[in-house]
Structure 1
Amino acid sequence: MSMNLEKMELLHRPELFDFHGVSMIHYFTDNWDNYQNFQARPDDILIATYPKAGTTWVSYILDLLYFRESQEDRLTTIPIYERVPFLEISVPGLFSGKDLVDNLTTSPRLIKTHLPVQFVPKSFWEQNCRIVYVARNAKDNMVSFYHFDRMNKVEPEPGEWSSFFQRFLDGKMVFGSWYDHVNGWWKKKETYSKLHYMFFEDLAENTGQEIDKLCNFLGLSPSAKEVETLSSSVQFDNMKKDKMANYSTTPVMDFKISPFMRKGKVGDWKNHFTVAQNEVFDEDYKKKMTDPTLQFRTEI
């Protein structure tokens, strides 16, 4: 992947537009036909999330689970966004996620997406691929998305926090409404058995236990010692320092504004929401989150 800084400087912040009922930007729709026709393989593993819900964290865990022993040099020489490519991204002259996936030599291939469930290329379902979905509570997800949009040049300008807050509630975000996203994928579990639905908060609270559940789903059986070692190496502070995991090697992000991996905490929303915003949010949440089986924690 040639990362050309001059080209990056020429990029204009994209505008949101409605795409089949979901707010999107052209970097994720320009390559639409190409990735919709993507040919999944039965052993592919798709990591699906709403943006800023723990995607890199779970990608890193899966990559270590499968390739730590056999391909240790990957960890020190290949950035995570090439080890686990982002299927739908297409930034001319910089990268095409689909091309990166096509060039993967690993088996299984680990593939990342932020697509809402109805946009997922149909071959993933046809091939009965395993899918890991990670969801994060909306308050922390919103805060993380805000800081991400401030520093990521391929995202729309976030504007002030108060207007961003409203935009999040209105679902005018890249990849659409958080509510539609988490609920759509939750519902899919009823009809698709190879979907493992995880929560960011559970992973933060008990990493080892969540890795055990993940291994169970994937049919892997690492020893307790291996799980313990893995749990400590994927703690946020370790990943934040790892140049191959923290996205510091991509020119689309301005680390002077904010790091890609900022805090990784549960409950940071309390440092951003005003009392009034919290009341507005809770009222709105009650209306939109009508499925009693899907429960989130905003603190642990």
Structure 2
Amino acid sequence: MARLDVTETFHSFMFPGHMHTQDSLNYATNFKFQDTDTVIVTYPKSGTTWMQEIITLVLNKGNPTVAQTTPNWARAPWLEQCYATDILKASTGPRIITTHLPYHLLAPALQHSKAKVIYVARNPKDVSVSYYHFHKMANFLPDPGTFSDFLIDFLKGAVHYGSWFDHVKGWTSNKKDIQNFLYITYEEMCQDIQGSIQKVSHFLQCPLTEDELILSQKHCSFNSMKENAMVNYTLIPQEIMDHSKGKFMRNGKIGDWKNVFTEEQSRLADDVYSSQMADSSLLFKWE
């Protein structure tokens, strides 16, 4: 299924047609969650791969075998992508499910479920830079043009998967309606990975010994994941994801936006943030 130049529109949101169809998106929004499911929810480029790795390691008590032998899209499939149906039907035991869908599209399916939802948020300035570089290497996403052009579209929400602001506010402002909800930031994971792993293991009711915690921390480090073909997307054919144009895992740091943004772009992003997030009670610590 190539469809590299196709954009699928669903409820006014744009999705890459390469892995999304009307059928797959309808399947996701009508999905029957199980109480044993763990659902990773992110806006793109917000720490999705990292959280997939952390959960895999926590559930396996730090043993890296699954993380090093099974691609992350097979062990934690994206619910809205067309291949997920077969994987999830064949799954036995607790499932890890990933999604970029906004809250209002998935809320009806989650309404009566005890599935555990982990929402990962990241500084939108860093998201915009990472997303821009991803567009340059992912042939199933439109040409982003200059970063200046892309940033304007990103701040308007005129990109695939919609507005970062709406996504974060949608999920976090409705967390009271989700029975089991954990909110964590990419920055928190960068600054205290051990504490973040412990927080996830506690939430999943899967306590780790000190040795298991150390093993988990070792195998979900940026350098470990960068070398792991199961998570660095080097298994994907070059015509779909061109690694000659960039790396899927670039640097794993916070604050990279400072190397890209002009002062004017930073002020613009700050102004849009202040306006869009005025009705949000979230207090972000980006640095």
Fold shared by both chains (TM-score > 0.5): yes
Matches of 1:75 and 1:279 in 2, distance apart?
41
**Matched-pair contact (CA < 8 Å) for 2:42–2:48:** yes
- In structure 2, how many angstroms separate the alpha carbons of the residues matched to 1:280 and 1:12? 32
Q: Which runs of 5+ in 2 are unaligned?
A: none
DSSP 3-state at the match of 1:256: helix
Q: Please, which of 153, 156, 163 is the counterpart of residue 167 of structure 1?
A: 153
| Superposition deviation, residue 66 in structure 1 | 1.1
- 1:103 equivalent among 87, 90, 100: 90
Residue 263 of structure 1: how far off its partner (Å): 1.1
CA pair 118-292 structure 1, distance change in 2 beyond 3 A? closer
2:220 and 2:69 map into 1 onto residues whose CA distance is 17
Q: CA deviation at 1:130?
A: 0.6
Per-residue deviation, 1:235:
0.9
Asked whether 1:65 is paired with 2:58, we answer yes
The 5 A counterparts of 1:8-87 are: 8=2, 11-15=3-7, 17=9, 19-26=10-17, 27-30=19-22, 31-67=24-60, 73-87=65-79
Match 1:238 to one of 224, 229, 238: 224
CA distance in structure 2 between the partners assigned to 1:121 and 1:295 by the alignment:
24
1:206-241 deviation digits (Å, cap 9, x = unpaired): 001111111221112111232122112211111001
Amino acid at match of 2:73: Y
1:192 paired with 2:178, answer yes
The 2-side partners of 1:258 and 1:35 are apart by 31
In 2, Cα distance between the equivalents of 1:69 and 1:272? Answer: 36
Identity of aligned residues (%): 35
1:270 aligned residue: 258
Given that 1:50 and 1:175 are in contact with CA atoms closer than 8 Å, whether structure 2 keeps it comes out as yes
Aligned residue number for residue 3 of structure 1? none
- What is the alpha-carbon distance in structure 1 between the residues aligned to residue 210 and residue 192 of structure 2? 14
Question: Number of aligned pairs?
Answer: 283
Shift of 1:25: 4.0
1:120 matches 2:106: yes
Which amino acid in structure 1 is aligned with residue 69 of structure 2?
Answer: T
- Following superposition, the deviation at residue 160 of structure 1 comes to 1.4
In structure 2, give the amino acid aligned to 1:22: F
- How far apart, in 1, do the equivalents of 2:178 and 2:166 lie? 18
Shift in CA distance, 104/154, structure 1 to aligned 2, threshold 3 Å: farther
Q: Which runs of 5+ in 1 are unaligned?
A: 1-6, 91-95
From 85, 108, 116, give the equivalent of 1:130.
Answer: 116
- Whole-Å separation in 2 of the counterparts to 1:272 and 1:46: 32
Counterpart CA distance in 2 for 1:115 and 1:45 is 15
